[in-house]
Protein backbone atom coordinates (compact mmCIF):
# COMPACT_ATOMS: atom_id res chain seq x y z
CA UNK A 1 0.00 0.00 0.00
CA UNK A 2 1.09 3.59 -0.54
CA UNK A 3 2.84 5.29 2.37
CA UNK A 4 0.84 8.45 1.68
CA UNK A 5 -2.39 6.67 2.63
CA UNK A 6 -1.15 5.89 6.12
CA UNK A 7 0.31 9.38 6.46
CA UNK A 8 -3.13 10.78 5.67
CA UNK A 9 -4.73 8.53 8.29
CA UNK A 10 -2.28 9.72 10.97
CA UNK A 11 -3.01 13.35 10.06
CA UNK A 12 -6.76 12.79 10.30
CA UNK A 13 -6.43 11.23 13.76
CA UNK A 14 -4.32 14.13 15.02
CA UNK A 15 -6.67 16.79 13.70
CA UNK A 16 -9.56 14.93 15.33
CA UNK A 17 -7.73 15.27 18.65
CA UNK A 18 -7.08 18.95 17.95
CA UNK A 19 -10.79 19.49 17.32
CA UNK A 20 -11.57 17.67 20.59
CA UNK A 21 -9.32 20.09 22.48
CA UNK A 22 -10.83 23.11 20.71
CA UNK A 23 -14.36 21.87 21.44
CA UNK A 24 -13.54 21.53 25.13
CA UNK A 25 -12.10 25.05 25.18
CA UNK A 26 -15.20 26.54 23.59
CA UNK A 27 -17.49 24.57 25.92
CA UNK A 28 -15.67 26.15 28.89
CA UNK A 29 -15.50 29.71 27.58
CA UNK A 30 -17.61 30.88 30.54
CA UNK A 31 -16.17 28.50 33.16
CA UNK A 32 -14.57 30.51 35.99
CA UNK A 33 -10.85 29.86 36.36
CA UNK A 34 -10.69 27.54 33.34
CA UNK A 35 -7.33 27.22 31.56
CA UNK A 36 -7.46 26.39 27.86
CA UNK A 37 -5.78 23.43 26.21
CA UNK A 38 -3.55 23.30 23.15
CA UNK A 39 -2.69 20.32 20.95
CA UNK A 40 0.72 20.16 19.25
CA UNK A 41 2.03 17.69 16.67
CA UNK A 42 5.36 16.13 15.73
CA UNK A 43 6.52 14.13 12.75
CA UNK A 44 6.44 10.37 13.09
CA UNK A 45 9.04 7.85 11.92
CA UNK A 46 10.96 8.36 8.71
CA UNK A 47 11.83 5.54 6.35
CA UNK A 48 15.44 5.81 5.19
CA UNK A 49 15.81 4.84 1.56
CA UNK A 50 19.53 5.57 1.45
CA UNK A 51 21.90 6.73 4.16
CA UNK A 52 24.10 9.80 4.03
CA UNK A 53 27.65 9.33 2.79
CA UNK A 54 30.78 11.38 3.27
CA UNK A 55 32.82 12.87 0.47
CA UNK A 56 35.35 10.71 -1.35
CA UNK A 57 38.39 11.32 -3.52
CA UNK A 58 36.39 12.15 -6.65
CA UNK A 59 32.88 12.93 -5.37
CA UNK A 60 31.31 15.06 -2.69
CA UNK A 61 29.12 13.91 0.19
CA UNK A 62 25.55 12.83 -0.29
CA UNK A 63 22.58 13.50 1.96
CA UNK A 64 20.30 10.81 3.27
CA UNK A 65 17.08 10.07 1.40
CA UNK A 66 14.16 9.72 3.81
CA UNK A 67 10.40 9.57 3.41
CA UNK A 68 8.21 10.63 6.33
CA UNK A 69 5.49 8.32 7.61
CA UNK A 70 3.01 10.88 8.88
CA UNK A 71 2.52 12.85 12.07
CA UNK A 72 1.89 12.04 15.72
CA UNK A 73 0.42 13.85 18.72
CA UNK A 74 3.22 15.56 20.64
CA UNK A 75 1.45 17.21 23.59
CA UNK A 76 -1.87 18.45 24.87
CA UNK A 77 -0.78 21.45 26.93
CA UNK A 78 -2.72 23.34 29.57
CA UNK A 79 -2.02 27.05 29.07
CA UNK A 80 -1.89 28.63 32.54
CA UNK A 81 -1.97 32.27 31.53
CA UNK A 82 -3.89 34.63 33.80
CA UNK A 83 -7.21 35.98 32.66
CA UNK A 84 -9.32 39.04 33.43
CA UNK A 85 -11.20 39.40 36.69
CA UNK A 86 -14.95 39.95 36.52
CA UNK A 87 -16.69 42.06 39.15
CA UNK A 88 -19.39 40.25 41.10
CA UNK A 89 -19.67 42.31 44.30
CA UNK A 90 -20.02 39.11 46.36
CA UNK A 91 -17.60 38.92 49.28
CA UNK A 92 -16.99 35.17 48.93
CA UNK A 93 -16.09 35.45 45.24
CA UNK A 94 -12.29 35.56 45.22
CA UNK A 95 -9.97 36.21 42.30
CA UNK A 96 -6.20 35.66 42.34
CA UNK A 97 -3.90 38.32 40.91
CA UNK A 98 -0.75 36.26 40.47
CA UNK A 99 0.35 32.66 39.97
CA UNK A 100 -1.12 31.03 43.07
CA UNK A 101 -3.85 28.41 43.46
CA UNK A 102 -6.44 27.99 46.17
CA UNK A 103 -5.94 24.78 48.16
CA UNK A 104 -8.90 22.45 48.71
CA UNK A 105 -9.22 19.27 50.74
CA UNK A 106 -11.62 16.72 52.12
CA UNK A 107 -11.45 16.00 55.86
CA UNK A 108 -9.27 13.00 56.58
CA UNK A 109 -7.61 13.11 53.15
CA UNK A 110 -3.86 13.42 52.66
CA UNK A 111 -4.18 14.75 49.11
CA UNK A 112 -4.94 18.33 48.17
CA UNK A 113 -6.66 19.76 45.14
CA UNK A 114 -5.89 23.13 43.62
CA UNK A 115 -8.09 25.63 41.79
CA UNK A 116 -8.23 29.12 40.35
CA UNK A 117 -12.01 29.21 40.61
CA UNK A 118 -12.79 31.26 43.71
CA UNK A 119 -16.59 31.03 44.00
CA UNK A 120 -16.76 29.91 47.63
CA UNK A 121 -19.53 29.44 50.18
CA UNK A 122 -20.04 29.04 53.93
CA UNK A 123 -21.55 25.76 55.16
CA UNK A 124 -23.82 25.26 58.17
CA UNK A 125 -20.82 25.00 60.50
CA UNK A 126 -19.30 28.27 59.31
CA UNK A 127 -16.53 26.69 57.20
CA UNK A 128 -15.39 28.09 53.88
CA UNK A 129 -16.03 25.52 51.12
CA UNK A 130 -16.24 25.34 47.34
CA UNK A 131 -19.30 24.33 45.32
CA UNK A 132 -18.52 20.62 45.87
CA UNK A 133 -18.15 20.95 49.63
CA UNK A 134 -14.33 20.71 49.72
CA UNK A 135 -12.77 22.79 52.49
CA UNK A 136 -10.70 25.83 51.58
CA UNK A 137 -7.45 25.44 53.51
CA UNK A 138 -5.60 28.01 55.58
CA UNK A 139 -2.03 29.22 55.74
CA UNK A 140 -1.40 26.64 58.48
CA UNK A 141 -1.55 23.92 55.82
CA UNK A 142 1.72 22.12 55.02
CA UNK A 143 2.60 19.39 52.57
CA UNK A 144 1.91 15.97 54.06
CA UNK A 145 -0.86 17.14 56.39
CA UNK A 146 -4.03 15.16 56.81
CA UNK A 147 -6.87 17.60 56.29
CA UNK A 148 -8.64 18.31 59.56
CA UNK A 149 -11.19 20.96 60.45
CA UNK A 150 -9.37 22.09 63.56
CA UNK A 151 -6.00 22.69 61.83
CA UNK A 152 -6.37 23.15 58.09
CA UNK A 153 -9.92 24.17 57.23
CA UNK A 154 -11.02 27.79 57.48
CA UNK A 155 -13.91 28.46 59.84
CA UNK A 156 -15.14 31.96 59.11
CA UNK A 157 -17.24 31.98 62.26
CA UNK A 158 -18.63 29.58 64.86
CA UNK A 159 -22.45 29.49 64.68
CA UNK A 160 -22.66 28.32 68.30
CA UNK A 161 -20.68 31.29 69.60
CA UNK A 162 -23.23 33.92 68.68
CA UNK A 163 -24.21 36.02 65.70
CA UNK A 164 -21.81 37.99 63.54
CA UNK A 165 -22.49 41.34 62.02
CA UNK A 166 -20.30 41.12 58.91
CA UNK A 167 -17.02 39.86 57.53
CA UNK A 168 -14.59 40.86 54.80
CA UNK A 169 -11.56 39.35 53.06
CA UNK A 170 -8.54 41.55 52.42
CA UNK A 171 -5.91 41.28 49.66
CA UNK A 172 -3.72 39.08 51.87
CA UNK A 173 -6.48 36.52 52.25
CA UNK A 174 -7.13 37.39 55.88
CA UNK A 175 -10.77 37.05 56.90
CA UNK A 176 -11.87 39.90 59.17
CA UNK A 177 -15.02 39.10 61.14
CA UNK A 178 -17.12 41.65 63.06
CA UNK A 179 -19.41 40.33 65.78
CA UNK A 180 -22.90 41.59 66.66
CA UNK A 181 -21.43 44.16 69.07
CA UNK A 182 -19.30 45.71 66.33
CA UNK A 183 -16.04 44.36 67.73
CA UNK A 184 -13.55 42.44 65.55
CA UNK A 185 -13.23 38.73 66.30
CA UNK A 186 -9.72 37.70 67.34
CA UNK A 187 -7.57 35.04 65.63
CA UNK A 188 -8.95 35.62 62.15
CA UNK A 189 -7.99 32.82 59.72
CA UNK A 190 -5.99 33.45 56.57
CA UNK A 191 -6.42 31.79 53.18
CA UNK A 192 -3.35 30.04 51.77
CA UNK A 193 -2.17 29.84 48.17
CA UNK A 194 0.11 27.31 46.50
CA UNK A 195 2.56 27.73 43.63
CA UNK A 196 4.39 25.14 41.56
CA UNK A 197 7.73 25.15 39.80
CA UNK A 198 5.95 23.75 36.71
CA UNK A 199 2.27 24.64 36.81
CA UNK A 200 1.84 23.24 33.28
CA UNK A 201 2.52 19.81 34.79
CA UNK A 202 -0.63 19.91 36.93
CA UNK A 203 -3.26 17.32 36.02
CA UNK A 204 -6.91 18.28 35.60
CA UNK A 205 -9.24 16.17 37.73
CA UNK A 206 -12.52 17.89 36.84
CA UNK A 207 -14.73 20.30 38.75
CA UNK A 208 -12.29 23.18 38.07
CA UNK A 209 -9.56 21.49 40.13
CA UNK A 210 -6.04 20.19 39.57
CA UNK A 211 -3.77 17.78 41.38
CA UNK A 212 0.00 17.63 41.47
CA UNK A 213 1.84 15.24 39.16
CA UNK A 214 5.33 13.80 38.94
CA UNK A 215 6.32 16.71 36.70
CA UNK A 216 4.61 19.62 38.45
CA UNK A 217 6.88 19.67 41.48
CA UNK A 218 5.75 19.83 45.08
CA UNK A 219 3.40 22.68 46.03
CA UNK A 220 4.95 25.68 47.74
CA UNK A 221 2.23 26.56 50.23
CA UNK A 222 2.30 29.82 52.09
CA UNK A 223 0.79 33.17 52.92
CA UNK A 224 -0.74 35.23 50.15
CA UNK A 225 1.75 37.67 48.65
CA UNK A 226 4.88 35.67 49.48
CA UNK A 227 7.14 34.13 46.79
CA UNK A 228 5.07 35.42 43.89
CA UNK A 229 1.82 33.87 45.02
CA UNK A 230 -0.05 37.07 44.21
CA UNK A 231 -2.92 38.73 46.02
CA UNK A 232 -6.62 38.05 46.49
CA UNK A 233 -9.38 40.29 45.18
CA UNK A 234 -12.66 39.88 47.04
CA UNK A 235 -15.77 40.48 44.96
CA UNK A 236 -14.12 39.29 41.74
CA UNK A 237 -13.89 36.01 39.82
CA UNK A 238 -11.29 35.02 37.26
CA UNK A 239 -12.74 34.42 33.82
CA UNK A 240 -11.73 31.63 31.45
CA UNK A 241 -8.63 32.41 29.39
CA UNK A 242 -10.28 31.01 26.23
CA UNK A 243 -10.22 33.49 23.33
CA UNK A 244 -13.12 32.66 21.02
CA UNK A 245 -11.58 34.38 18.00
CA UNK A 246 -8.42 32.32 18.42
CA UNK A 247 -10.38 29.10 18.92
CA UNK A 248 -12.52 29.63 15.82
CA UNK A 249 -9.39 30.35 13.78
CA UNK A 250 -7.77 27.16 15.06
CA UNK A 251 -10.99 25.32 14.26
CA UNK A 252 -10.79 26.46 10.63
CA UNK A 253 -7.12 25.40 10.47
CA UNK A 254 -7.99 21.97 11.92
CA UNK A 255 -10.93 21.56 9.56
CA UNK A 256 -8.85 22.39 6.47
CA UNK A 257 -6.03 20.18 7.68
CA UNK A 258 -8.47 17.31 8.13
CA UNK A 259 -9.87 17.89 4.64
CA UNK A 260 -6.37 17.97 3.13
CA UNK A 261 -5.51 14.64 4.73
CA UNK A 262 -8.73 13.06 3.46
CA UNK A 263 -7.77 14.28 -0.02
CA UNK A 264 -4.42 12.49 0.33
CA UNK A 265 -6.28 9.25 1.05
CA UNK A 266 -8.69 9.81 -1.86
CA UNK A 267 -5.84 10.50 -4.27
CA UNK A 268 -3.89 7.47 -3.05
CA UNK A 269 -6.99 5.34 -3.53
CA UNK A 270 -7.36 6.57 -7.12
CA UNK A 271 -3.75 5.65 -7.85
CA UNK A 272 -4.26 2.16 -6.41
CA UNK A 273 -7.39 1.79 -8.56
CA UNK A 274 -5.39 2.65 -11.67
CA UNK A 275 -2.82 0.03 -10.70
CA UNK A 276 -5.52 -2.61 -10.28
CA UNK A 277 -7.01 -1.66 -13.66
CA UNK A 278 -3.67 -2.27 -15.44
CA UNK A 279 -4.57 -5.97 -15.71
CA UNK A 280 -7.60 -5.28 -17.85
Q: pLDDT tens digits for 51-101?
A: 888 888 888 888 888 888 889 999 999 999 989 999 999 999 999 998 899
The most confident of the ranges 113-117, 137-141, 220-224 is: 113-117
* Average of per-residue pLDDT across 188-201: 91
Confidence check: pLDDT of 180 > 80: no
Report the run of H or E that residue 177 belongs to, with start and end.
Answer: strand 175-179
| The pLDDT of residue 64 | 87
- 233: confidence class by pLDDT, cuts 50, 70, 90: very high
Spatial distance between the Cα atoms of 113 and 122, rounded to a whole number of angstroms: 19
| The pLDDT of residue 141 | 86
Q: What is the pLDDT of residues 14-29, one digit of tens each?
A: 999 999 999 999 999 9
Short-list 101, 96, 154, 162, CA closest to 123: 154
Q: Which residues sit opposite 205 in a β-bridge?
A: none
> 138: buried, middle or exposed (CB in 10 Å: 19+, 13-18, 0-12)?
buried
**What rounded mean pLDDT belongs to the chain?**
90
Report which DSSP code applies to 208.
T
* Average of per-residue pLDDT across 148-175: 86
| The pLDDT of residue 199 | 92
Question: Which residue did the predictor score with more confidence, 89 or 183?
Answer: 89
Q: Which residues contact 140 (CB under 8 A, 6 or more apart)?
A: 151, 152, 192
Q: What is the DSSP string of 83-99?
A: -PEEE---TTBEEEESS
Question: Which residue did the predictor score with more confidence, 214 or 159?
Answer: 214
| The pLDDT of residue 44 | 87
Confidence check: pLDDT of 1 > 70: no
Short-list 65, 101, 66, CA closest to 82: 101
How many other C-beta atoms are found inside a 10 Å radius of the C-beta of residue 236?
A: 20
* Average of per-residue pLDDT across 103-121: 94
| The pLDDT of residue 55 | 86
Structural domain boundaries in the chain: 3-49+64-80+242-279, 85-238
| The pLDDT of residue 280 | 66
* Average of per-residue pLDDT across 95-117: 93
Confidence check: pLDDT of 225 > 80: no
Confidence check: pLDDT of 227 > 70: no
| Contact yes or no for 265/58 (Cβ under 8 A) | no
Amino acid sequence: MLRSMYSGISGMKNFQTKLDVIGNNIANVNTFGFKKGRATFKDALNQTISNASESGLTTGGKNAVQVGLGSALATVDTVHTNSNLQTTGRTLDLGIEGDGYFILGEEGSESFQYTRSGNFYIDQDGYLVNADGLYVLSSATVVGDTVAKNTNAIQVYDPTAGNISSFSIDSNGKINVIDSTGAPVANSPQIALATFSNSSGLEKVGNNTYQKSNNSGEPDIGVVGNAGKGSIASGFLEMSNVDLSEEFTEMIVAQRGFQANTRIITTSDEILQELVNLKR
